[in-house]
Structure 1
Amino acid sequence: MIKKVQILIMIATIFAIGFTAGTFFTKNSVHQVSTKLAKTAEQSTKNPVLKSSPKTISDAPSKVLIGYVQDYRDPSAIDYSNLTHVIFSFAHPEKDGRLTFNGDTAMNNLRRTVSNAHKHDAKAILAVGGWFHIKGGESYDYFKSAIASPSSREKLANELVGTANRENLDGIDIDIEHPRSKKDAQYLAAFINDLSKKLHAVNKELSVAVHAKIHSVTGTETDFVNYDASMFQHVDYVNIMAYDGQWDGGYNAANMAPYPFTEKIVNYWGSLFDSHSIPRNKLVLGVPFYGQPEDPSIKPVSYEAIINHNPEIDDKDIISMNGTTYYYNGEATMQKKTSLALYNGFGGMMIWEVGLDAKGSYSLTGAISKVIKNSQTNPVKYYSVKHTE
């Protein structure tokens, strides 16, 4: 009996010792593992790598609405409220690189336009060139000579920067219509490169107006206008003159700026910029604020004149006035084009010309602005595989 009791006591003692040792070992093992994990985390110097993601339209700066204003317009008659940029048109290049204006009236209008634009938080830009020169003939002949020579090219660049500083301008717009050879394109690229450095050094913008580069009848790229794509790297905006297709393949006013023509232009320029790894948000789609007559011997009319003739115009973008048929872009087409540009990652819209717009609720500027503002409240995502950061 005593032996049985002793055996039971011995078994109980061994069990107790084993249980205590097991518990102690388990606690120490857990603590050692926790300490090791904590130490490893503290010593890690690796940071998670964020994978690049496609740019979206919301990554880009706020969209621009750029309006050209001709030098004879009364600056007080312009509605600046929806514009981000006002481009005063035009100063004229001389063959030796000097810069001239269309008299004292143009200079006074420039200064009033700059003042009014700044009061509305819009940037004031001076356009140089255009189609006609103040002395007669095409401005191209003067521009070509000015940028072909290194000395006159330097002189013109310095005159533009000096004018921008003196007149409190926010930048310069170059409108040479149009480089007609590869050599001319190289001269323009060299000039843009030089001017860009000078303007950006004093916090001024540089934009360039370009031909649509698409034939309105065939839908193919035109070869009579040449650009060196490298110059687009050095500008802030590229204003595409996506209108005046009526001259392609024989005069046809209906080809002025129809929506399908604009689609081809947008696709061309978007693809061009992608191929050169240039951000699409530099591209600005231009639209016309005038009606083109079926008879080329008759002058175009302003959109304001069209509205004054018939405020209840339909969406056909065609109207008969005084026995003549005119083709134009109405509100629906303008808003559709704006959506097209924004959907394709463009930086905004350009108007030729603000002084041709209708007033109040009929304003095309206001109609375009609504689409832009809505896109910034509810941005449409545009993805470009070419442009990742």
Structure 2
Amino acid sequence: MAELIAYLDDNTNWKTSDLPVNQLTCINYAFAKFNGFQLVPHLKKINFINMLKEKHPTLRTIISVGGWGTEGFSDAVATKESRHTVIANLVSYMKRYNFDGIDIDWEYPGDSSAGIKSRSTDSVNLLHFLRELRTVLNGLVNSDHPRYWLTAAAGASDRLLNLMSPSSDYTYMAYLDYLNVMTYDMRGSGTKIAGHHTNLLPYNAPNGQLSANSAVQTLTTHKIPTEKIVIGSAFYSRDWFGFDENIQKPIGKEAATFGDHTTAYGKLRELISAYPQNVFWDDEAQAPFYFDGHRFSSYDDPHSMVKKAEYVLDRHLRGLMFWEYSLDRSNTLINAAANVLFKQPKSR
């Protein structure tokens, strides 16, 4: 059975009654961060999730460590001694909050674009870290807890996927149960060229080759089993503003602003509902967009969620994940994917 995995932020506005637990296989709880070699913060809402787990024993919960701009990874994995300390603290944190595993979200090894420390040896040290952490997690298995999961998040481009691995050999995948590929934010931040940010397929534009499909092709070319690949969807748009008045289709065209602005899908739905004439489907990219002559927004909608879920099944991938649950508390996007992945709602 394919997976539907939700990233859930401890700091955002949600209630357990909002969560469609019967439609999910796993919650990646975000985020634990480094304070030196310790893990912080104290999680405010995890007790609610643990109460849900008592009612839904098949629901898996994983603590996601890191996120964009999170400092500390490079130092944490730099030496055998630091890795030993960090792994002990990670496991302690995982067990304190009753998680079933750990998700490593380092953005990105060997890269300081997020303003974090990096080293040329980061990917080598990451490989040691994942091997050692996998060994420790395997040693914790017992009759009460027959498995502890180890996953990671990675960017979708070849460059970002290669940053995870020394010599681009992807050896680290041997220690992961699966990889959450962030097939969103593929365009937007730092560019005024409008484009799809979470498209399933490539499209004909100067910057249109990167897609969920291209990331999957890169991984399978490196002989990564499809059952270890999870693709991503976005519960938010990336928005560009200000276009030449003669532009009919803005994809691949320059806007006045960078695509740094984002809008939660829950809010975007109001705009889409009010101005349906400005909503379009790009069959080449298998992705929707909104364009009113001034604003261009790229996002996932129910149609694209269905297409991604069908792709997961057709390619025998591990599943589909999304960032982040509270951005669409209507469950419109979750339901669209779940109806394909599970054919019918999972039993409560």
For residues 325 and 319 of structure 1, the distance between their equivalents in structure 2, rounded to whole angstroms, comes to 5
What is the CA–CA distance in structure 1 between the aligned matches of 2:101 and 2:161, rounded to whole Å? Answer: 30
Instruction: Name the CA distance, whole Å, in 2 between partners of 1:310 and 1:365.
Output: 18
1:54-93 alignment to 2 at 5 Å? 62-73=1-12, 74-76=14-16, 77-93=18-34
Would the aligned equivalents of 1:182 and 1:227 in 2 still touch at CA under 8 Å? no
User: Deviation digits for residues 192-225 of structure 1, max 9, x if unmatched?
Assistant: 11111112322211111111124xxxxxx56873
Distance 1:302 1:350, change over 3 A: same
Q: Report whether the alignment pairs 1:348 with 2:348.
A: no
Structure 2: how far apart are the matches of 1:119 and 1:223?
37
1:238 Cα offset (Å): 0.6
Closer, same or farther: CA 349–298 of 1 in aligned 2, 3 Å: closer
In structure 2, what is the equivalent of residue 206 of structure 1? Answer: 150
> Matched residues in 2 for 1:179 and 1:194: separation?
17
**Displacement after TM superposition at 1:345 (Å):** 2.2
Pick the aligned partner of 1:152 from 61, 77, 82: 82
Partner residue of 1:279?
225
- The residue that corresponds to 1:263 in the other structure is 213
Aligned residues between the structures = 292
Q: CA deviation at 1:253?
A: 4.0
Report the AA paired with residue 295 of structure 2: T
| 1:176 shift after superposition | 0.5
Alpha-carbon separation, structure 1, partners of 2:161 and 2:139:
35
Task: Give 1:22-171 correspondences, 5 Å limit.
Answer: 62-73=1-12, 74-76=14-16, 77-95=18-36, 97-101=37-41, 104=42, 107-120=43-56, 121-131=58-68, 138-139=69-70, 141-171=71-101
Give the deviation of 1:366 after TM superposition: 0.9
**Offset at 1:257?**
1.7
Deviation at 1:307, TM superposition (A): 1.6
Aligned to 1:374: 343
User: What is the SS of the residue equivalent to 1:300?
Assistant: strand
Query: For residues 105-126 of structure 1, what are the alpha-carbon distances to aligned partners after superposition, in whole Å with 9 as ceiling and x for unaligned?
Result: xx12122223324533311110
Determine the C-alpha separation between the residues in 1 that align with 2:3 and 2:161: 29
Q: Does 1:365 align with 2:334?
A: yes
Distance between the aligned counterparts of 1:88 and 1:292, measured in 2?
Answer: 23
- Return the alpha-carbon distance in structure 2 between the equivalents of residues 250 and 325 of structure 1: 13
Measure the CA separation in 2 of the matches of 1:321 and 1:271.
Answer: 40
Counterparts in 2 of 1:341 and 1:172: CA distance versus 1, 3 Å: same
- Counterparts in 2 of 1:225 and 1:298: CA distance versus 1, 3 Å: closer
**Contact persistence 2:76–2:86 (CA under 8 A):** yes
| CA–CA distance in structure 1, aligned partners of residues 176 and 98 of structure 2 | 20
In structure 1, runs of 5+ residues without a counterpart are 1-61, 132-137, 215-220, 378-389
Superposed displacement of residue 86, structure 1: 0.4
Distance change in 2, residues 1:222/1:163 (3 Å): closer
Structure 1 contact 64–85 (Cα < 8 Å) conserved: yes
On the 8 A contact 1:171/1:205 being kept in 2, the answer is yes
CA contact (8 A) 2:63 2:103 kept: yes
Whichever residue aligns with residue 173 of structure 1, its letter is: D
8 Å contact kept, 1:94–1:146: no
TM-score, normalised relative to structure 1: 0.68
Greater Cα radius of gyration, structure 1 or 2: 1
Contact preservation (8 Å) 2:21, 2:59: yes
CA distance, structure 1, for counterparts of residue 171 and residue 216 of structure 2: 19
- Sort the Cα spacing of 1:375 and 1:190 in 2 relative to 1 into closer, same or farther, 3 A: farther
Aligned to 1:301: 263
Relative to structure 1, the CA distance from residue 224 to residue 337 in structure 2 (aligned partners, 3 Å threshold; closer, same or farther) is: same
| Shift of residue 279, structure 1, vs aligned partner | 2.5
Cα deviation, residue 166, structure 1: 2.1
Q: 1:292 aligns with which of 232, 238, 257?
A: 238
Tell me the equivalent position of 2:184.
Answer: 243
CA shift for structure 1 position 142? 1.2
Confirm or deny: 8 A CA contact 1:82 1:366 kept in the other structure: yes
Residues 126 and 171, structure 1, Cα contact 8 Å, conserved in 2? yes
Partner letter of residue 160 of structure 1? L
What does the per-residue CA deviation read over 1:211-251, in whole Å, with 9 as the maximum and x for residues that have no partner?
A: 1124xxxxxx5687342411111111110001112148834
Q: Which has the higher helix share?
A: 1
Distance 1:375 1:189 in 2: 39
